[in-house]
């Protein structure tokens, strides 16, 4: 599915590379998937302070994805709305449970929220969706790409199935692809068929315009249809009623907290101690394949509904650790500290964000930082510790709204609101979507 990001040569006049990747996991093939398959801190003391200028270094969301209608897109709109209506309706309904959480993660990581619909055409938001080519999870990651972007995958755990951690990984991967190609259409094509196939298409077609490469048929057939299919899903998904899709509102994904527990530990024990039902724990931890946390580390961060998180502690659960469970070969690396980074001399939030394919905004959000100041020895989180689906990063303008009323509602200044949305004037219109956070 997803080619490894390992381009080591720049093709003059064709692709501008902002950075080079040092390791190669090999090309990963196209595959067909069964998307309808259902199955069961501490801060070290230091006098040295590293700061950045908030205005000059804050990373904004990358440019939006061009959403345009043409005959190729219209074909897929008709397919989803008429020929495959029942299944696409299930995709819309199932995806709505995750939508706010997924869009928040994408926004915080500086990629367009519309990429929510990419996972919809990949898996229909079925966490256990699998492919014949061994791609898995909501975002259909191949194992090598999943590990490259920090997802644990072994006998006991498959974090490709975790909608939260997999979305963070997908945001980083898509951001890297955009930085390579400078085009969302080409980045999406590479997400489907791999970077090398898209680069070869650019060379053969002598163009960096996806639609021109489509016309010249220099990309694989599945990839030529992939981008129009995505655009069609966005067009329908943003205005489902216009296309006859109703009754898609479902219960929102619960607010969750990542709780560090000793490992390996049975979910049944966590259920008894926390008061959370075993079914709910399995629902929010679909990536645990054996009903226990993986033995590859001394601890593991488990998703627990926020209202129950304080009931769990390492000391309380230590006596329940399962003895004699050995890590399999693929799980030999201790992943206990993969969610953290220790600040080194010369580090800035910008350099850390770039090194981990994320944004300053995301690092500040998940570490509760009010400024860009960090200290040598400080322990920073790299992945979110909690998720509240009620937290809004976007707002759809209502009749009678003004920038002042919206800024007051979301506790953000009017100048900041204008900067987030690249507004030159105070004029807004009903139905307009505005960024109000992230």
> For the domain that residue 113 is a member of, what is the CATH number?
1.10.530.10
Residues 222 and 91 in one domain: yes
Over residues 289-311, the mean pLDDT reads 90
Residues 239 and 269 in one domain: no
Residue 426 structure tokens:
């105070």
pLDDT at 84 over 80: yes
Residues 199 and 77 in one domain: yes
Number of structural domains in the chain: 3
382 within domain boundaries:
no
Residues 78 and 123 in one domain: yes
Whole-prediction pTM value?
0.78
User: Looking at 243, 271, 291, which one is the last position of a domain?
Assistant: 243
383 within domain boundaries:
no
373 within domain boundaries:
no
DSSP 317-358: HGGGPPTTPPPPGGG-S--TTTTEEE--TT--HHHHHHHTT-
Over residues 221-248, the mean pLDDT reads 93
Residues 76 and 172 in one domain: yes
Over residues 342-366, the mean pLDDT reads 88
Residues 284 and 406 in one domain: no
For the chain, how big is the Rg over CA atoms in Å? 22
pLDDT tens figures, 177-217: 999 999 999 999 999 999 999 999 999 999 999 999 999 99
Structural domain for 404, as ranges: 394-435
224 within domain boundaries:
yes
Residues 60 and 121 in one domain: yes
Residues 67 and 198 in one domain: yes
Furthest CA-CA distance within the chain = 65
> Residue 5 — very low, low, confident or very high, per pLDDT cuts 50/70/90?
very low
Residues 119 and 219 in one domain: yes
Are the C-beta atoms of residues 48 and 369 closer than 8 Å to each other?
no
274 within domain boundaries:
yes
> Residue 438 — very low, low, confident or very high, per pLDDT cuts 50/70/90?
low
Residues 105 and 133 in one domain: yes
Residues 224 and 325 in one domain: no
Residue with more model confidence, 5 or 322: 322
Q: Tell me how far apart the alpha carbons of residues 348 and 353 are, in angstroms, rounded to a whole number.
A: 8
Are the C-beta atoms of residues 435 and 104 closer than 8 Å to each other?
no
User: Looking at 210, 243, 276, which one is the last position of a domain?
Assistant: 243
Are the C-beta atoms of residues 147 and 96 closer than 8 Å to each other?
no
Over residues 258-286, the mean pLDDT reads 93
> For the domain that residue 424 is a member of, what is the CATH number?
3.10.350.10
231 within domain boundaries:
yes
User: Looking at 312, 331, 350, which one is the last position of a domain?
Assistant: 331
354 within domain boundaries:
no
Residue 315 structure tokens:
């000391």
Residues 261 and 220 in one domain: no
342 within domain boundaries:
no
């Amino acid at each position: 599915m997803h080619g490894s990001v390992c381009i080591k040569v720049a093709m003059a006049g064709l692709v501008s590379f902002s950075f080079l990747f040092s390791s190669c996991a090999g090309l990963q093939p196209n595959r067909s998937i069964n998307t309808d398959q259902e199955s069961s801190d501490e801060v070290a003391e230091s006098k040295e302070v590293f700061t950045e200028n908030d205005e000059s270094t804050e990373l904004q969301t990358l440019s939006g994805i061009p959403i345009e209608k043409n005959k190729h897109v219209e074909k897929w709109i008709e397919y989803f709305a008429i020929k495959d209506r029942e299944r696409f309706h299930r995709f819309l309904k199932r995806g709505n449970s995750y939508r706010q959480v997924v869009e928040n993660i994408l926004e915080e990581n500086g990629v367009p929220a519309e990429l929510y619909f990419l996972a919809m055409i990949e898996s229909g938001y079925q966490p256990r969706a699998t492919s014949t080519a061994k791609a898995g999870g909501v975002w259909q990651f191949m194992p090598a790409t999943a590990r490259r972007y920090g997802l644990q995958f072994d006998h006991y755990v498959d974090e490709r199935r975790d909608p939260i951690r997999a979305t963070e990984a997908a945001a980083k991967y898509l951001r890297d692809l955009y930085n390579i190609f400078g085009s969302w259409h080409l980045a999406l094509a590479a997400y489907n068929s791999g970077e090398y196939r898209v680069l070869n298409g650019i060379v053969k077609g002598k163009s960096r315009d996806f639609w021109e490469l489509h016309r010249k048929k220099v990309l694989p057939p599945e990839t030529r249809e992939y981008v129009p299919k995505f655009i069609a899903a966005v067009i329908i998904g943003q205005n489902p009623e216009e296309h006859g899709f109703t009754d898609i509102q479902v219960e929102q994904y619960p607010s969750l907290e990542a709780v560090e527990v000793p490992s390996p530990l049975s979910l049944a024990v966590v259920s008894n101690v926390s008061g959370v039902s075993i079914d709910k724990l399995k629902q929010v931890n679909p990536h645990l394949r054996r009903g226990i946390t993986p033995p590859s580390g001394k601890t593991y961060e488990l998703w627990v509904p926020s209202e129950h998180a304080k009931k769990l502690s390492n000391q309380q659960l230590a006596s329940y650790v399962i003895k004699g469970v050995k890590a399999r070969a693929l799980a030999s690396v201790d992943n206990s500290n993969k969610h953290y980074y220790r600040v080194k001399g010369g580090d800035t939030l910008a350099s850390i964000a770039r090194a981990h394919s994320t944004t300053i905004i995301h690092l500040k959000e998940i570490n509760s930082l009010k400024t860009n100041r960090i200290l040598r020895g400080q322990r920073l989180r790299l992945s979110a510790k909690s998720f509240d689906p009620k937290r809004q990063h976007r707002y759809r303008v209502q009749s009678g709204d003004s920038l002042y009323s919206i800024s007051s509602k979301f506790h953000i200044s009017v100048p900041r609101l204008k900067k987030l949305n690249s507004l030159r004037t105070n004029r807004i219109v009903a139905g307009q979507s505005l960024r109000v956070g992230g």
